[in-house]
Amino acid sequence: MQWTPIYDMMMELMQLEPVIGHTRGTRSDERYRGQLSKWLSDHQLDEIFNETDELKHAKLLRSHLAPLMKSDDANIGINVSKWVVKEWGGIQSGIDTVALWHKTCNQYGRGEVNTFVIQMGSKRIASWSKILSFVYPQEYPIYDARIGAALNSVLWQLRAPRYFPKVGTQNGPANRAFEIMNKSPMWRPYLLTYYNYKSLIYLIAQHRFGGDLLHAELSVFNASLRIIDDFMSAYEAYRQEGSTRRRNGGRFLVRFSDLGEIRKAKSEQIADISSEEQKNLPL
């Protein structure tokens, strides 16, 4: 998968912003602190929860939990991994499977993890990618429904021939965006893999965030609802405009935010690509 040919257009559509300097939400701090107190010392908890910077807090949380997840004590490794998925990640179903994943990955050894990711494909990806992001935050970014819907809405504008897999979610905007794309006769079920996603986040990290993969992932996550909302607004405008916008297979180009004439010119350039050329876009 080569992202470079369409990278600039994707970045113009996504309008990513740095996360460092952002004040994080603290609503769950008391609950999290109480739950983690069985594994972490007061000093460690203070270090994590006294940090208000979103990116620094994310790194501290991972740096303290990763050694526990890779611990020789399997019970600790499994229970901390379950905490990441259920409490921190908000995923309530299939938690018992985490113990099997922990065993399969041999306490998250790199070789075993790589094999595990290949074997899992997109199955339960929102759960296991959270675990791997805590163990290896600079190697395995989290993939969830919001990120998938946001990236697909951008790829949709570029008439990409392949898309990322849909993840089950209760998030209304993400579900609606997936529904719009799934109903189109031009939707192509040639799904991109987690490694395609990982390579995109890696490229964003290298170009925008000094190689910090976690920073890139958080930036995409923070922008995801805005990207989805822009997509939905443009879709509604497209429906209202009717047949004058329905060309090149029935899809449309989102005019996100106010990127002005540069975006307009590039959108028209993409729109002029023939159907046959669109099939051969270097994705």
H, E, C per residue of 81-95:
HHHHHHHHCCCCCCC
> What is the full per-residue pLDDT of the chain (283 aa) written as tens digits?
579 889 999 999 899 999 988 999 999 999 999 999 999 999 999 999 999 999 999 999 999 999 999 999 999 999 999 999 999 999 999 999 999 999 999 999 999 999 999 999 999 999 999 999 999 999 999 999 999 999 999 988 888 888 898 887 777 888 888 888 877 655 665 689 999 999 999 999 999 999 999 999 999 999 999 999 988 888 877 777 654 544 444 445 544 443 334 344 444 444 443 334 333 333 3
**152 assigned to some structural domain:** yes
**242 assigned to some structural domain:** yes
Which tokens in the block code for residue 225? Answer: 């609802």
**265 assigned to some structural domain:** yes
Question: Looking at residue 274, what is its pLDDT?
Answer: 38
**31 assigned to some structural domain:** no
**84 assigned to some structural domain:** no
Question: Looking at residue 283, what is its pLDDT?
Answer: 38
**159 assigned to some structural domain:** yes
Question: Looking at residue 189, what is its pLDDT?
Answer: 59
Asked whether the beta carbons of 264 and 9 are under 8 A apart, the reply is no
Q: Which of 169, 122, 134 lies closest to 149, judged by CA?
A: 169
Cα–Cα distance measured from residue 247 to residue 95, given in angstroms and rounded to the nearest whole number: 46
Asked whether the beta carbons of 68 and 61 are under 8 A apart, the reply is no
Instruction: Find the domain containing 223 and state its range.
Output: 145-279
**115 assigned to some structural domain:** no
Residue 23 has φ and ψ, to the nearest 5°, of -80, 125
3-state class (DSSP) for residue 53 = strand
What pTM was estimated for this model as a whole?
0.84
- Total domains present in the chain: 1
Cα–Cα distance measured from residue 276 to residue 168, given in angstroms and rounded to the nearest whole number: 33
**103 assigned to some structural domain:** no
Asked whether the beta carbons of 91 and 127 are under 8 A apart, the reply is yes
